[in-house]
Chain A
Amino acid sequence: MSVKESGVVSQEKGQDGYKIVCERISKEFIQKGTQRVHVLEDISVAVRKNEFVVILGPGQSGKTTLLRIIAGLEIPTTGRVLLDGREVTGPGPDRGLVFQGYMLFPWKTVMGNVEIGPKLRGVPKKERREIAARYIKLVGLDGFENHYPHQLSGGMKQRVGIARAYVNSPEVMLLDEPFGQLDAQTRYYMEKETVRIWETERRTVIFVTNNIDEAIYLGDRIITLQGKLPGRMHAVYEVDLPRPREHTDMKFLELRHIITEASELTL
């Protein structure tokens, strides 16, 4: 069940259906002028088209930084990211990012928040409202179009975040611990919803989390990062369980055990 893959690909340039390829990425930040902080070390990942990849690691393992590099919001110190074989040089609408906090515009309604992407690209009002309405419905918020973020619960806010990312029809969805701030029940429910949404509208997904159960429940593949900076790749697990998955399924628990055991020393 658990297949440990080697670091993957250097010359292929996104052939064989690889949507995203990270080639030997490392990242250093310079703090307070001189102090160097080494955040990521030699990360190589290849993600297939429409694959759901989970990056699992404890706090301070550089997983958010990795996601931001893929999003184009940070530049790797060495290495590069390829999207369909082309090097990523900055952020773009082909990658939809769902943020850790909700990051909604407090002065805009649900509709206003969701339609922001097409609006910025100059899509005419009627058209963008139609698209936005479709994704608001997809995430189950129809009827709340005219609500403001402060009138929504945490789970609903993150649904808005997901709809907002989806509405640009990005080829890749990047989710950065999207459910970290939710209570356990809501979180569980949102994980189910994430699978439902992903099965309705297939996308390549890279999902960052620190929660093992969430990782196994969601991912086709789980990449673990070891704790303590700099973040290094620890192992890669294929999750070949059929969906919808059950947290109490024997195989689920088995895999959970394997990952916990393997990462106990480093996670």
Chain B
Amino acid sequence: MAYEEVKVKKPLALRLLPIASLVFFLGTWQLIVDFEVLPSSMLASPWQVIQLFVVKLTEANPDGAVLARHAWTSIQEAFTGYILSLIVGIPLGLFMGWFVVAEGLARPFFEMIRPIPPIAWIPLTIFWFGIGLAGKVFIIWIAGIVPCVINSYVGVRMTNPTLIQMARTYGATDWQIFTQICIPSALPMVFGALQIALAYCWTNLVGAELLAADTGLGFLITMGRRLARPDMVVLGMISVGLTGAFIGVIIDRVEKRLLAGIRR
């Protein structure tokens, strides 16, 4: 059992360093705009962004929706696509890792789709689904499924071969080895996929919304560009970042819970 490391308290100055760094960054940014080093048509100051943030909490104009609604649309799209990619990608990868037939059938398709950036699908999805929810879910699904398949596949492949041989000496069937040895061995890699897939999904969601949407955080950024409102662009960017980080934290928590549940 591992011993807890003795925690040495960091000196105060060191703990203040990140805050100082942040203040310096925001301050410089504010000054650049205030003194018009860059014209206000090119960059909005932090203060302007905060003001717009407060306004956008309740005001739908000029882009058609309040901030929460943009965020909610994005989260819904991302989450639906993400869950679907897990549901399809993880079992697919696991099967491909163990069953030769599954690998032989699915591998060519997978290898063909894998190098195509998900955003390249956007025009097709507009033909097929228009600019509603379904098209973006499709893009996100494509984006998320790749790491799910790869991680699950590699996880199964990394199963200790001696454990498999041991099970064989006990007369285990292929299916038993798959379910009782390969899948548990692959779990840490599969959990790794949860985070990686989420990052892929979120990135590509914003990409998809930039091009085909009428709400969503990506759409907010696009509207900012169209209306020549840098404050709106920056607000959109920050909202995307914060929402993504927030979802990441939640997934991390869920993952730890699940892992703890399995280890016990």
A interface vs B, CB < 8 Å? 71-73, 90-93, 95-97, 99, 101, 103, 105, 107, 116-117, 119-121, 148, 150-151, 168
B28 CB within 8 Å of chain A: no
Complex CA gap A150/B181 in Å reads: 18
| Cβ contact within 8 Å between B169 and A97 | yes
Q: B173: nearest residue on chain A (CB-CB)? A: A120
Contact with A along B76-107 (1 / 0, CB 8 A): 00000000000000000000000000000000
Distance (Å) between the CB of A88 and the closest chain B CB?
12
| Cβ contact within 8 Å between B169 and A95 | yes
B170 partner residues in chain A, CB cutoff 8 A = 93, 116-117, 120-121, 168
Complex CA gap A218/B81 in Å reads: 62
Complex CA gap A73/B173 in Å reads: 15
What are 17 of the A-B contact pairs (CB < 8 Å)?
A73-B165, A93-B169, A95-B169, A97-B166, A99-B162, A103-B162, A105-B184, A107-B184, A107-B187, A107-B262, A107-B263, A116-B167, A116-B180, A117-B170, A120-B167, A120-B172, A120-B180
Q: A101: nearest residue on chain B (CB-CB)? A: B162
Distance (Å) between the CB of B144 and the closest chain A CB?
26
Complex CA gap A101/B161 in Å reads: 12
| Cβ contact within 8 Å between A91 and B160 | no
Contact with A along B151-172 (1 / 0, CB 8 A): 0000000001011011111111
B162 partner residues in chain A, CB cutoff 8 A = 99, 101, 103
Complex CA gap A90/B170 in Å reads: 11
Interface size class of B (residues with CB under 8 A): 20 to 34
Q: Is the interface of B mostly helix, strand, loop or mixed?
A: helix
| Cβ contact within 8 Å between A73 and B1 | no
Q: B168: nearest residue on chain A (CB-CB)? A: A91
B interface vs A, CB < 8 Å? 1, 160, 162-163, 165-173, 176, 180-181, 184, 187, 262-263
Q: A97: nearest residue on chain B (CB-CB)? A: B169
A71 partner residues in chain B, CB cutoff 8 A = 169
With contacts defined as CB atoms under 8 Å apart, how many contacts are there between chain A and chain B in the complex? 51
A105 partner residues in chain B, CB cutoff 8 A = 163, 181, 184
B167 partner residues in chain A, CB cutoff 8 A = 116, 120
A91 partner residues in chain B, CB cutoff 8 A = 165, 168-169, 171
Further pairs besides A91-B168, A105-B181, A116-B167: 18, Cβ < 8 Å? A90-B168, A91-B169, A91-B171, A93-B171, A95-B169, A96-B169, A97-B166, A99-B162, A103-B160, A103-B166, A105-B184, A116-B170, A120-B167, A120-B171, A120-B176, A120-B180, A150-B1, A151-B1
Most buried by A among B168, B169, B181: B169
B180 partner residues in chain A, CB cutoff 8 A = 116, 119-120
Distance (Å) between the CB of A69 and the closest chain B CB?
13
A95 partner residues in chain B, CB cutoff 8 A = 169
B166 partner residues in chain A, CB cutoff 8 A = 97, 99, 103
Distance (Å) between the CB of A161 and the closest chain B CB?
9
B262 partner residues in chain A, CB cutoff 8 A = 107
Nearest first, the 5 A-B pairs at minimum CB distance are A91-B169, A117-B170, A120-B172, A93-B171, A91-B168
